[in-house]
Structure 1
């Protein structure tokens, strides 16, 4: 019979206990993913219920939220710390019918067709492998073609945020949709931008 010294038994027990505790705890990556999905569905539910208070609570107070819209020839944007529900484009988003329930799928995003006014596929999607540059591209175009006084530092900051932002598309069979972005700020996910340009076929 092999005799194990008591101090070795204590060491082995501690190693076993710590290993078991580590195995039972969710990984940081899984926890982050769960938090992201929770906020994604909270945004969807808040817009579905037209709950302006809930939507505002999902915006980081020190970051605000961007709204992308098309006014005439140019795509434009506005930044709001407090959501302005008198804004005609924001009111339009709030009027969308978000009736279908979808599971969030991590794959390529659907494309919107201006001829049929329908999306290439229906569901709730996020492509974590792609970096979307819509906002920084919009600012650069406004500087180049309309000579808007947007500082290079501002554009660089937006481009930096875009690297980690996640674009989500919820698209129904009837063509109704909600396109928005989430960012992680101070260990929490927040609503960062709402895109109404993608489905605007006026230009």
Structure 2
């Protein structure tokens, strides 16, 4: 009797674990945004052009040229870190004289790196160094980010911030399906942004001013 009870209990535990694993797998699949990889020569040429144009315009602090690469309807999302937790601001245009956040100036630096398409580097806070240096974008279908969604989740959970439907829609438009770019010739100098295609034209949709900073 005891043996049969033990076997039954073991079977129930195994079944429960199987259900939990299935639930986690399903959740992970739902959180994944499908995005096609770029590999055709004309696609690479188009995305290369907008990436290099934005980097040059930003580093030369040319408002007009930067804003020419920001979608006139959807604008730009700027991620920053005001404290322990990341936050973001949606702006219609870029202004070198009015940075987001106000105390973190848009700085320039020398760049002699050539754009390549490969896995992106990571910044390691324990050493304050990047895992590699260069000018890189990952255009594979697996390099999808959920930065803005994650920020909204934590801001809602810990700071009780509520976002209206218009913000949720714009966030989705700006980040879903975008391609991340990291320009980091040194540990101290870097520029991180996303680009996305809208009806055949490429625009810069997100500026990440948080990643690569471990002050908080």
**Class of the TM-score when normalised by the shorter of the 2 chains:** 0.7 to 0.9
* Runs of at least 5 residues in structure 1 that lack an aligned partner in the other structure: 1-27
Question: 1:189: Cα distance to partner?
Answer: 0.6
Does 2:103 correspond to 1:95? no
What is the number of equivalent residue pairs in this alignment?
A: 175
**Secondary structure of the equivalent of 2:81?**
strand
**For residues 108 and 90 of structure 1, what CA distance do their matches in structure 2 show?**
32
Pair member with larger Rg: 1
Question: 1:153: Cα distance to partner?
Answer: 6.9
**For residues 98 and 173 of structure 2, what CA distance do their matches in structure 1 show?**
30
The normalised TM-score by structure 1 is 0.77
1:106 aligned to 117, 122, 125, which one? 117
Number of the residue aligned with 2:198: 185
Does 2:39 correspond to 1:39? no
Equivalences for residues 21-36 of structure 1 within 5 A: 29-36=40-47
1:74 aligned to 67, 74, 85, which one? 85
Q: Deviations over 1:11-34 (max 9, x none)?
A: xxxxxxxxxxxxxxxxx9422221
Does 2:196 correspond to 1:196? no
Contact 1:64–1:79 (Cα < 8 Å) also in 2: yes
**For residues 176 and 187 of structure 2, what CA distance do their matches in structure 1 show?**
31
**For residues 103 and 200 of structure 2, what CA distance do their matches in structure 1 show?**
30
Contact 2:81–2:210 (Cα < 8 Å) also in 1: yes
Give the CA RMSD over aligned residues.
2.3
The normalised TM-score by structure 2 is 0.73
* Runs of at least 5 residues in structure 2 that lack an aligned partner in the other structure: 1-38
Number of the residue aligned with 2:145: 132
Question: 1:45: Cα distance to partner?
Answer: 0.4
